[in-house]
Amino acid sequence: MSNDDPSTVALVGTTGGAGTTRCAVETAAALAADGRDVAVLDAAFATQGLADHVHGALDPDVTALVTDRADAPLSDGLVELGLDTPGTVACCPAAAPFERLARAKSADAARQFEARIAEAADAFDHVVVDVPPVASNQSIAAVDACDRVCLVAPGTTRGADAVQRMRGRLTDLGSETDLVVATRGELRTADVSVPESDATEPDACPSCLGTGEDAFAAGVGRLAAAAFETELDDAFAGDGLLASVGRYVRR
């Protein structure tokens, strides 16, 4: 990876159920398989889907790190996925009561969230931010702070319409769309497609490392390479798929 390569990417869901969180974790795993260290930060405070992919107490979670625990280092909120890969994946999910969720969506907290992205960029080779449809302060902060913005949409007519709406919204905010990712189908406007995986349970994710689903792993590999404008080795060429995923440990 050269110094000119982007290090922070916002994966923005264009609609609910697009598979953005899944794409974020799988993308991070693909990069870790290539020897990169990756942080995944959760901007989807309301749905808190990233928390389903880790185990154990989340104290502090990402909402605490942008409110009550703003002075704590980001490392306090990272949970490392126990992957059998040369690189590491560390997640910072949201898992908070409603009262703190509301405070974490304030303008001050959004500025702190931008600072957390920058902190992660200093500590990791890559940062993936799981962003919901852009309609809140922290999601706006994510697209402003990241080097690249990738829209994630299901490969349906609804998904195609959602991409157009989100492109317009980002333009209104002064941001550009760098990549469109289609999930579970094809979109004419998509740059990358990730086919549906047979693995559906959170504990099966990332599945690109060990299920033998070559098409899915290849799609994730293309997404990771395109999102970060980088090249991966042959870890996703079929026989190179890694065989095991361990448990989750606190970083």
Q: Is residue 3 part of a domain?
A: no
- The chain-wide mean pLDDT, for the chain, equals 90
Number of independent structural domains in the chain: 1
Looking up residue 200, the CATH number of its domain turns out to be: 3.40.50.300
Q: Is residue 1 part of a domain?
A: no
Q: Is residue 186 part of a domain?
A: yes
Q: Report how far residue 193's alpha carbon sits from residue 155's, in angstroms, rounded to the nearest whole number.
A: 8
Residue 200's pLDDT band (boundaries 50, 70, 90)?
Answer: confident
pLDDT tens-place string over residues 2-53:
446 789 999 999 999 999 999 999 999 999 999 999 999 999 999 999 999 9
The pTM for the full model equals 0.91
Residue 171 has pLDDT above 50, yes or no: yes
Q: Is residue 116 part of a domain?
A: yes
Residue 55 has pLDDT above 50, yes or no: yes
Closest CA to 139 of 160, 117, 123: 117
Q: Is residue 163 part of a domain?
A: yes
Q: Is residue 2 part of a domain?
A: no
Closest CA to 250 of 120, 121, 107, 58: 58
Q: Is residue 37 part of a domain?
A: yes
pLDDT tens-place string over residues 215-237:
899 999 999 999 999 999 865 54
Q: Which domain holds residue 141?
A: 8-250
Residue 241 has pLDDT above 50, yes or no: no
